[in-house]
Structure 1
Amino acid sequence: MQGKLTALGVAKLKTPGMYGDGGGLWLQVTGKGGKSWIFRYTLQGKAREMGLGPVSTFSLAEARDKALACRKLTYEGVDPIEVRRERLQKAAVEAARTVTFRTCAEAYIEAHKPGWRNGKHVAQWSATLEAYAYPIIGDLPVQAVDTTLVMRVLDPIWTTKPETAARVRGRIEAILDWAKTNTYREGENPARWKGHLANLLPKRSRVKKVEHHPALPFAEIPKFMVEVDERGGIAARLLAFTILTAARSGEAVGALWTEIDMQAGIWTVPSVRMKGEIEHRVPLSQPALAILAEVRGLDETFVFPGSRSGKPLSDMAMLMLLRRLGRGDITTHGFRSSFRDWAAETTAFPSEVVEMALAHVIDNKVEAAYRRGDLFAKRRELMDAWAEFSRGTR
């Protein structure tokens, strides 16, 4: 029998319990005076309960209408709870259509940057997305990003800039996966490689070109170092120090005084600032130590401070110096190649000593396992010889 409850009775009920109206509709009264509607039903032999909302929102008549709709579904063998869940999911997806790819990308970067090795990753992610992805898909709803749009991003750069294109693809894939996890989109990831874009684009190995950093021939290093010294200034000191230590520009730019032991002549670069994520000890030659003595006192934290308080000088300062010297054709990183060529062609130092001086990661796992020392004493001899050559005293 249905219609056991009345609107007045529902309003007066205070005693906690379950009160049936019939047809599977129940009034639930809690100990704190809360009242809500419950629909009880059995489907495929399994008893279930479904909340229909609070009495303060839905009247008895409205609750009966909702219960009737549920009974009709169960009569057809359809679970009303599943129907509601699907409806809510669709509503969430519809709401997410206003969330753009750019918004998701910025949220992804913000969420992951605490785990990235250094701040450069944030800048690199933002720069590549700004240059290649945002102009095409940045302002579109993330749900709307499909294979065609991903291909529009990648096609122009896949063969001309394969390394960059591969990174852009991977970043788009990661952002779309993040968006799906956060229910901003549904379906397969159109930026995935295996079994998808691999069928549309050539393998990177087939289009990848070996890119060498333009380097100064090592024979010109002594003359060039004189020109750098004549320039003066903090950028010149940084460039000379970078060359003398054969360091990567980022390692030299971010050098901290806490890493420097002037008395022992050692610069210890922590693993978090190394490309290979392994601590690297750099033996400092006398010319390198002389540069450190010159800049001592400019800043308490950074060896080569920038104009902004609490910030180091930037890589761009060295590039601008190279241009002012009329050497815009070479890069700071290229001086590592100059060092490598000099060592190979004019010295008898073993290759492993030179590679360790450059802090190159050993690809051969067996060799890496057996090479337990860092050949520091031999590397000191090597860096002293490089300093003598660079300064024209050898």
Structure 2
Amino acid sequence: MGKLTAVMVKALRHDPAKGKRPVRFGDGDGLYLQIAPGTNGDTKSWLLRFTLHGKAREMGLGPVGELPAGIPLAEARKRAAAARAILAAGHDPIEERQPGAREQQAQRKAAAEAGARTFRIVAAACIKAEEPGWKNKRTALLWTSSLENHAYPTLGDWPVAEIDRAKVREAIDAVWTSAPSIGRKVLRRIATVLRYAAAHGWRANDNPADAKMLRYAGLPPLPGGRKQPSLPWARTPAFLTALDKLDGASALALRFLILTALRSGEVRQARWSWVSIDGTPTLTVPGEVMKGKKSGEVQPHRVPLPPAALEVLVHAYAFATAGKATAAELPRLAALRGDALIFPSAKRGVPLSDMALSAVLRRMNSDRPKGRPAPWRDADGRDAVPHGFRATFSTWVDDICPEEREAAERALAHEIGNRVSGAYRRSDLFDRRTPLMAAWAEHCTRKPTIAASSVRSRRSAKAAT
């Protein structure tokens, strides 16, 4: 049968052979004339069939007849076309004809999406998006662990769009006062996740994890942060003498860290290919290894190696290869070792863990008579830590040769505070740092301390040549 006509609509009747089951006559594009038997004659109505989300649906368009009580063929076709247009726009034409149906549908959709965008799910997406920019694979694990322990119990299943300051404070209240350093990290990470959600339009761009705003909302202030405990510089020679009694890559790495003022991660990841003995012996730390930086954001850090540091390299080679070496052989040996780690862990090809150097210090402090304080501690009585030796070096510079403060900042690989100034001041002051690090190494190894005037005279003599 082709398309219906007005005459056909009026003439068609129900087939008694069909019993009580309605019969349908198609007009095309899903529009049907439906005829059902009744006690007082046939009942005729219009029906639109369509598919939505893979499911067959049927929509009644009204009884057959003349307007306003009934609907003629032409009007049925208009209503079917309007319904198909709604369907093409991705909406349900059955729901659309209800008062406020579109608004209700939007609300239901938003609620469903909000349920799927809980803080836990958005945090996982945020970590995945940020991970390629993190130089250390452990960073993602640390983020996940801290959020699981301190954020997810309160925020994990909460829609990210509904998280407010009260909810954030509820999440961090306990850790904020019991472990302030962890509390700060957790709060910063929550803030990052919420910024990520706002950037994708999943919540308002009012970050309830803003620490200053939370302070105004009643979050208690934390006590001033204490610096990393550092050994007084006058005690460094005695410490290195005691350290000489310990064997292993960790003890050698700690000694090298002290003599070079490097960070623990830079020492643990150091490779023989970074060493150059031609001219001034140098260790060059690649930009991607520097603290918290991407390789494109920071220049490699050159570290002048005094004789005492070269001696550590000789011992490190002997430890790693079970062979013998001398300082004179280092250029050849460094080339032979290539990209191998200078201070390898027991697992081949794997750097020492971030706790390896700390374990050496704990071992040295634990070897004391019961009841006696730790021998290697800061002025407050706290046990010294590896990172604190950078402060030890910095304090030595302030006390012995304060005019080399700027060179010391470069030795510590600190950024210049003013970004505009830093963009133009690109010298790493390597020539000034070479005698400075030699003087520091001589102090640490109990050689006569070179006075500040001596450091200045070396620099002046080098400049004159």
Question: Shorter-normalised TM-score: what interval?
Answer: 0.7 to 0.9
Q: Which has the larger radius of gyration?
A: 2
Give the distance between the partners of 1:67 and 1:382, measured in 2 at CA. Answer: 80
Question: Are 1:225 and 2:240 an aligned pair?
Answer: yes
Amino acid at match of 1:24: R
- Of all paired residues, the percent bearing the same amino acid is 33
**Candidates 299, 304, 311, aligned match of 2:350:** 311
Give the distance between the partners of 2:108 and 2:121, measured in 1 at CA. Answer: 25
Q: Is the 8 A contact 1:173 1:189 kept in 2?
A: no
Q: 1:194 to 1:383 in 2, by over 3 A?
A: closer
Q: Which residue of 1 aligns with 2:289?
A: 273
Q: Which residue of 1 aligns with 2:333?
A: none
Q: Which residue of 1 aligns with 2:340?
A: 301
Deviation at 1:159, TM superposition (A): 5.6
Question: Are 1:291 and 2:302 an aligned pair?
Answer: no
What does the per-residue CA deviation read over 1:164-203, in whole Å, with 9 as the maximum and x for residues that have no partner? 43432231132234456668x6567663428953531469
Amino acid at match of 2:312: I
**What are the ranges of 5 or more consecutive residues in structure 2 without an aligned counterpart?**
10-23, 32-72, 322-336, 366-375, 378-382, 449-465
Q: Is the 8 A contact 2:143 2:189 kept in 1?
A: yes
Counterpart mapping for 1:42-61 below 5 A: 49-51=85-87
TM-score with structure 1 setting the length: 0.74
Deviation at 1:7, TM superposition (A): 4.7
Q: Is the 8 A contact 2:250 2:356 kept in 1?
A: yes
Amino acid at match of 2:132: P
Amino acid at match of 1:282: V
Q: Is the 8 A contact 2:316 2:343 kept in 1?
A: yes
TM-score with structure 2 setting the length: 0.64
Q: Is the 8 A contact 1:24 1:67 kept in 2?
A: no
**Candidates 33, 39, 54, aligned match of 2:83:** 39
Q: Which residue of 1 aligns with 2:262?
A: 247
Amino acid at match of 1:268: T
Give the distance between the partners of 1:218 and 1:195, measured in 2 at CA. Answer: 37
Q: 1:225 to 1:50 in 2, by over 3 A?
A: same
Secondary structure at the counterpart of residue 51 of structure 1: helix
Give the distance between the partners of 1:309 and 1:139, measured in 2 at CA. Answer: 42
Give the distance between the partners of 1:86 and 1:228, measured in 2 at CA. Answer: 68
Q: Is the 8 A contact 1:190 1:196 kept in 2?
A: no
Name which of structure 1's ranges 135-144 and 149-158 shifts more when overlaid on structure 2. 135-144
What does the per-residue CA deviation read over 1:19-54, in whole Å, with 9 as the maximum and x for residues that have no partner? 98424213xxxxxxxxxxx626xxxxxxxx321699
**What are the ranges of 5 or more consecutive residues in structure 1 without an aligned counterpart?**
14-18, 27-37, 41-48, 55-62
Deviation at 1:220, TM superposition (A): 1.2
Deviation at 1:143, TM superposition (A): 6.0
Deviation at 1:242, TM superposition (A): 0.3
Amino acid at match of 2:83: F
Counterpart mapping for 1:1-394 below 5 A: 7-10=25-28, 21-26=76-81, 39=83, 49-51=85-87, 70-71=96-97, 73=99, 84-94=105-115, 96=116, 100-138=118-156, 142=160, 145-158=163-176, 164-179=182-197, 186=203, 191-193=208-210, 197-201=214-218, 207=222, 209-264=224-279, 265-275=281-291, 277-296=298-317, 300-326=339-365, 327=376, 329-347=383-401, 349-365=403-419, 368=422, 371-394=425-448
Q: Is the 8 A contact 1:260 1:268 kept in 2?
A: yes
Deviation at 1:134, TM superposition (A): 3.2
Q: 1:154 to 1:69 in 2, by over 3 A?
A: closer
Amino acid at match of 2:447: T
Deviation at 1:226, TM superposition (A): 1.4
Deviation at 1:340, TM superposition (A): 1.5
Q: Which residue of 2 aligns with 1:35?
A: none
Deviation at 1:115, TM superposition (A): 1.5
Name which of structure 1's ranges 329-338 and 151-160 shifts more when overlaid on structure 2. 151-160
What does the per-residue CA deviation read over 1:76-96, in whole Å, with 9 as the maximum and x for residues that have no partner? xx6x666544443333334x2
Give the distance between the partners of 1:155 and 1:131, measured in 2 at CA. Answer: 13
Secondary structure at the counterpart of residue 282 of structure 1: strand
Q: Is the 8 A contact 2:168 2:209 kept in 1?
A: no
Name which of structure 1's ranges 165-174 and 239-248 shifts more when overlaid on structure 2. 165-174
